[in-house]
Amino acid sequence: MKNWIPLFVLLLVVSSCKTRNAAKKDNSNPQDSIYVESNTDPKDANEPVRDKLTFYEHVLIPPQFDQIKINSKVNVETGSFVPTLDATIYIENNQKVWMNLSALFINVARGKATPEGVKGYDKTNKSYIDSDFEYLNNLLNVNFIDYKSLEKILMGRTFVKISDSQFTLTKNAQGFKMVSNSNQRIETDEKAREYKITLQYDENYDLLSVQLKDVLSPDELEISYSNWDEYNGIRLPKNVKIIIKGSKNSQILMENTKFDFSKMETPYSVPANYKKIEIK
């Protein structure tokens, strides 16, 4: 696995990189809403947010799109040299995420994710994987990544469950901050883990950062977004930074250089004589 860097990058970026889910009725409590004073400048100290319903509507209602193509420059820091990679990421809403990676104009890896799982192959080592999402969770030191959260991370949307009863929402100089009131327990078929979660949004409700700290281990995941702009009526981040700490340490920097909303072909087939990597 140590020498399998291109595919490691491919899958890590795909997972980092998933549209907002519509807010459920129990996720926001309009009756708790109070008005935010608009004639005062935001302070560094966190202040109570009064119009909570508007906040939840902005951060949880998904944008409408059929497909989106993202061209990106990817830099990876893993302790070993990895050249800057050119990535083409194609998302068909609720159906698939397809990615192609090249270095110095040479294709090095390709992969795709669907609700059923992830696949990818690495040309440099003539190897491939065909796995469920547990593999991506292991790469990111978490246990909750599925197809929909993958899409949300790529699009810069809230990819963890938030609710008014479980989080405290405040206003500060950057915009809005959400902090879990207690450890958030997330259970899957494989394991249960507890996280301390902090989210930061700007004044326009664009997601700035998400930090998840496993309370029982040194594992930590932080994803930050910057340079937001509007494309085809959808706000998207130009820069994405993923920091993984704990049992594995790495950092991924993505610079999204172009967004396109036209449909494209997404071929995927593993070449003959490639060796399957068994996920343990």
Determine the Cα–Cα distance for residues 33 and 217; give it in Å rounded to an integer: 36
Looking at the domain assignment, is residue 164 inside a domain?
yes
Dihedrals phi, psi of 165, to nearest 5 degrees: -80, -25
Q: Are 273 and 117 in contact (CB under 8 A)?
A: no
Looking at the domain assignment, is residue 124 inside a domain?
yes
> Quick one: pLDDT at residue 31?
36
| DSSP string of 247-267, one letter each residue | SS-EEEEEEEEEEE-S-----
Looking at the domain assignment, is residue 274 inside a domain?
no
> Quick one: pLDDT at residue 32?
35
| DSSP string of 22-69, one letter each residue | PPPGGG--GGG--PPPSSS---SS-EE-S-HHHHHHHHHSPPP-SEEE
Looking at the domain assignment, is residue 244 inside a domain?
yes
> Quick one: pLDDT at residue 15?
36
Beta bridge partners of 120: 111, 129
Residue 202, domain CATH: 2.50.20.10
Looking at the domain assignment, is residue 280 inside a domain?
no
Structure tokens that stand for 158 in this block: 């809230």
Determine the Cα–Cα distance for residues 250 and 67; give it in Å rounded to an integer: 30
Looking at the domain assignment, is residue 149 inside a domain?
yes
Count the domains in the chain: 1
Question: What pLDDT tens digit does each residue of the chain (280 aa) get?
Answer: 334 344 444 544 443 333 333 333 344 443 333 333 344 444 557 788 888 999 999 999 989 999 999 999 999 988 777 889 999 999 999 999 999 999 988 999 999 999 999 999 999 889 999 988 887 888 888 989 999 999 999 999 999 999 999 999 999 999 999 999 999 988 777 678 999 999 999 999 999 999 999 999 999 999 999 999 999 999 999 999 999 998 778 999 999 999 999 999 999 999 999 999 876 5
Beta bridge partners of 195: 184, 214
Determine the Cα–Cα distance for residues 85 and 106; give it in Å rounded to an integer: 10
Name the DSSP letter for residue 79.
S
Looking at the domain assignment, is residue 271 inside a domain?
no
Determine the Cα–Cα distance for residues 71 and 86; give it in Å rounded to an integer: 7
> Quick one: pLDDT at residue 158?
96
Looking at the domain assignment, is residue 279 inside a domain?
no
Beta bridge partners of 241: 224, 253
- E strands present in 123-261: 127-131, 167-171, 175-180, 184-187, 192-202, 207-214, 220-231, 234-245, 250-260
Residue type, 94: N
> Quick one: pLDDT at residue 166?
93
> Quick one: pLDDT at residue 10?
54
**CA-to-CA dists, residue 75 to 82, 86, 88, 254, 267, angstroms:** 8, 9, 14, 7, 24
> Quick one: pLDDT at residue 28?
41
Structural domain span for residue 97: 5-265
Torsion angle, CA of 147/81/214/59, rounded to 10 degrees?
-50
Determine the Cα–Cα distance for residues 10 and 3; give it in Å rounded to an integer: 14
